[in-house]
């Protein structure tokens, strides 16, 4: 995580994103939606593994960029990650409609 974070921080610094729309979370949401759409297309259109990987990396870079934009430290990200990890590891797995399985915080 540290290497990825520092690389994306470097990207933000290189293109002087601090204080611009590039670090505005509303703008970033649009970028995330755009990249999620590209991933959806890659998957549903049966694109190559390399293309699906690339679209996932686009999303990962944006999420890491969200942390940079928020001024979150590596320690804060680490803490938030493990807090959520504990939650998801204590969830239940259930069979849902359509015969699929889902791990979630089921209320019943
Ligand atoms: Mg993309």
Ligand 1 centre distance from Cα of residue 78 (Å):
26
- The domain locations on the chain are 1-72, 73-108
CA distances from 45 to 37, 41, 49 (A): 12, 6, 12
**Residue 28: Cβ within 10 Å count:** 18
Residue 108: what pLDDT?
A: 64
Ligand 1 centre distance from Cα of residue 68 (Å):
19
Ligand 1 centre distance from Cα of residue 33 (Å):
10
Q: Would you give per-residue pLDDT tens digits along the chain (108 residues)?
A: 899 999 999 999 999 999 999 999 999 999 999 999 999 999 999 999 999 999 999 999 999 999 999 999 999 999 999 999 999 999 999 999 999 999 998 886
Ligand 1 centre distance from Cα of residue 9 (Å):
19
**Residue 31 to residue 45: CA distance in whole angstroms:** 21
Determine if the pTM surpasses 0.85.
Answer: yes
């Amino acid at each position: 995580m540290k290497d990825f974070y520092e690389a994306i921080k470097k990207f933000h610094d290189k293109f002087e994103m601090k204080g611009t729309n590039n670090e505005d979370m509303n703008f970033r949401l649009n970028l995330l939606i755009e990249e999620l759409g590209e991933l959806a297309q890659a998957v549903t259109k049966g694109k190559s593994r390399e293309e699906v990987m690339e679209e996932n990396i686009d999303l990962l870079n944006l999420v890491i960029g969200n942390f940079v934009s928020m001024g979150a430290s590596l320690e804060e990200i680490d803490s938030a990650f493990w807090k959520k990890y504990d939650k998801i590891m204590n969830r239940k797995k259930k069979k849902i409609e359509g015969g699929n399985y889902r791990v979630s915080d089921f209320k019943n």
